[in-house]
Chain A
Amino acid sequence: MPTELLKNPYVHGAVYGVVIVTVLMTITAWSIWFERKFAGRMQSRVGPTLVGPFGLLQPLADAVKLLQKEDIVPASADRALFNLAPPLTVLFALGTAAVIPFSPEVIAADLDVGVLWVLAMGGLTVFPVWIAGWASNNKYALLGGMRSVAQGISYEIPLVLAALVPVTLAGSMSISDIVRYQEKNGWVVGMPPGPGILAFLIFFLASLAEANRIPFDIPEAESELIAGVTTEYTGMKFGLFYLAEYLHTLIVAAVGAALFFGGWAGPFGLGSGLHWMVGKTLLLFFGVFWVRWTFLRFRADQLMSLCWKYLVPAGLVLVMLSAFWVHYKAGTRG
């Protein structure tokens, strides 16, 4: 019996895992098409038009092109590590997706410490980037890797602090529980004493930095470091880095939607369902594109000062505020 079988957590995880990964990959591929179209509109161009209707098959053409490219490993590179880094980036980006609840059923693994898992996986993405920077044996890649480690470690802290706000409010580290709490009590982003929206902003900025997106893309800063850690990579290995960057951004958008925008819960009592979660995720994803094609890039030291002087203290205050809020509500209830 398929329905009976699905109740087994292993089967459930395997089936939904495959489905979620496939859907995410597909969305990622076509988000690249969408981003190029959007960037084109923004820059008074038309974007891709030649492959398929409206250039819709452009991602396939890109992938085929990347697969055809010669695979070059620099003679002085550390071959094993050099080859290890690109698949690792994709692995860690996809690992995060396991605990994201797209609806009460559509979730690969409903961990009790889902938030912790997301943050841990996000933190691990620093490693393949640093491995790539070191193993390439290229000065630009090394500088990029160095910047990436500094940035990843620094921005992990405001990210954790911002994610702690919904955790504190909901009293659970399971993302599904946090969404259920929001279904009952309203979205975290609109929570009364105001930490909700600020916490979301910190989360958004920190996750932009984690995903190496403009204005925080200093590890790959094309104009300074040529391509940063990916300088020496060719063909599909480069493509994997590219894919991981988009996957990471998409998943971060999904986590943001679940933690701060009520996940599958619809607004104004419009019911709930998978479509709300997907819609919110894509909207946030779109926001990231918008930021990318509008802003210039920070300098490495300015990035650090933004993190340590503003985001971390603000995050600490917000966590405290939300703790007081929970305490106050518990007091009024009984």
Chain B
Amino acid sequence: MELSVDPPPEKPAKKPAAKAGPAWLIPGAVAPIERADPYLDIEDYDPEADLMVLNLGPQHPSTHGVFRVKLYLDGEIIVKAVPFAGYLHRGVEKLCEKLAFTQITPIVDKNDYVSPMMNEQAINLAFEALLGAEVPRRARYLRTLVAELQRIGSHLLWLGTFALDLGGALGGGSTVFLHCFRERELILDLFEALTGCRFHYNTHTVGGNRHDIPEGWASLVKQALAVIESRLPEYEELMTDNSIFVKRTRGVGVVDGELCLELGITGPMARAAGVDYDMRRDAPYHAYDEVEVRVQTETAGDCQARTLVRIREISESIRIVRALIDGVPEGPICGHKPIKIVLQERSAGGQAYAALESPRGELGTWVIGGGVNKGTSPYRLKIRPPSLHAAACLPYVLPGHSVSDAIVILGSVDPIMGEVDR
């Protein structure tokens, strides 16, 4: 198999991001702010200052997994932050080179363990592009439905853990957390009715889905959504209308749109900074070209804006599911033959990239066909995790904040370590 490798592009004189940037930015978006040098040589810092090195993580209750940030503290103010990833590295991409296309889905389920459906869909979109598989219209509708339900569940979990970061595991924060989990449970129940599993579903496959919509599922979905919608105001009361919440989040951890474009940050974080970009609208996949997606944006780019965007995205997802649930077309749910043997999908070569809008941003998969076992495995597979790009903002954002703010910022960035390290 031959791979054409392009020579590395010559460095342009000016950053192209600065030119391409404003096209995506909405008017009024937060302007780039002056930041401390993220690559500050700590030796150059004021020698009089008595700096303390604090290892936040990898075992820390608020780093959302095994994430480690090395903080240089002047008093309680962060001077420099160095994030370390890789504590949860499992070699998923390498493992995929040995597995057949049909075997990979349940493996990548565990990458972004807060929204497993998205991982399955992302990887299968890429496989379908590589293998030229056609997905029936019913399956595309079903995928859109579960994607939006998963988005609700994922944002609810984020809201709960963010409240934990703000209010502590033994206080008001845990009240919000458990309320959010109560609602997320409804989503998991819906997935259980659909696939038989509560968390790692293995319901998507090349060319479609494996589990058809069961009888009466639509009314279950509507009931669950009605409950969740009726309880959303509770969260607004506990979180966004709460003066302590506003005090802790407004103006904290500002990530401007230019920085987002430079670091490749997508999803709610970028939208909170005024980057009007959502793959569901701008590069439609599944059935998103048949439904209106109202992209939620904010301009402040701080922790409060990120919260508002995510809470509004929950309502927006509820609206999208309601718009689609009654119009699911009849027909097959899988365009390919049902899986009888694992080696049934083969590719001679070529490559493909496909991406979708996961709750954290652009979740992409790049795959080269023609691997081992006569092309039944990918030759190489690369996952583009949105969390990795989001976490990349930490060295830029953390300096100048206190340790308490660092926890809040880390929570609002919403990195999922399974996805960052793969």
Contacts and interface: CB of A to CB of B under 8 A. Distances in A.
Contacts of A296: 163, 166-167, 171-173, 242, 244-245, 248
A300 B75 CA distance: 12
Contact of A224 (B175, B242, B245, B407): B407
B167 A300 contact: no
A286 B61 CA distance: 28
B168 A214 contact: yes
Given A43-B174, A293-B175, A221 B404 contact: yes
Interface in A291-310: 292-302
Given A218-B404, A295-B167, A295-B244, A223 B175 contact: no
B62 A223 contact: yes
B172 A298 contact: no
Interface residues on A, range: 20 to 34
B11 interface: no
A110 interface: no
Given A222-B61, A223-B62, A294 B172 contact: yes
Given A296-B244, A298-B247, A224 B171 contact: no
A299 to B, nearest CB: 5
B170 interface: yes
Contacts, number: 100
B345 to A, nearest CB: 45
A44 B179 contact: yes
A226 B60 contact: yes
A275 interface: no
B247 A302 contact: yes
Contacts of A45: 178
B402 interface: yes
Contacts of A222: 61, 168-170
B52 interface: yes
A44 B182 contact: yes
Contacts of A295: 167, 171-172, 242, 244
A138 to B, nearest CB: 11
A215 interface: yes
For A217, A223, A301, the residue with the greatest tally of chain B CB atoms inside 10 Å of its CB is A223
A42 interface: yes
Contacts of B60: 226
A299 B170 CA distance: 16
Contacts of B170: 214, 222, 292
A197 interface: no
B171 A299 contact: no
Given A296-B244, A296-B245, A299-B248, A143 B169 contact: no
B168 A43 contact: no
For B60, B164, B167, the residue with the greatest tally of chain A CB atoms inside 10 Å of its CB is B167
Contacts of A140: 54
B403 interface: yes
B414 interface: no
B394 to A, nearest CB: 16
A155 to B, nearest CB: 17
For B52, B404, B405, the residue with the greatest tally of chain A CB atoms inside 10 Å of its CB is B404
Contacts of B248: 296-299, 302
A139 interface: yes
B62 A224 contact: yes
B262 interface: no
B165 interface: yes
Contacts of A215: 167, 171-172, 244
For A43, A45, A299, the residue with the greatest tally of chain B CB atoms inside 10 Å of its CB is A299
A298 B244 contact: yes
Interface of A: 39, 42-45, 139-140, 143, 146, 214-215, 217-218, 221-226, 292-302
Given A299-B404, A302-B247, 10 more contacts: A45-B178, A217-B171, A223-B166, A223-B167, A293-B172, A295-B167, A296-B163, A296-B172, A296-B248, A297-B167
14 contacts: A39-B174, A43-B179, A44-B179, A143-B54, A222-B169, A225-B403, A226-B60, A294-B172, A296-B167, A296-B245, A297-B248, A298-B247, A299-B248, A302-B248
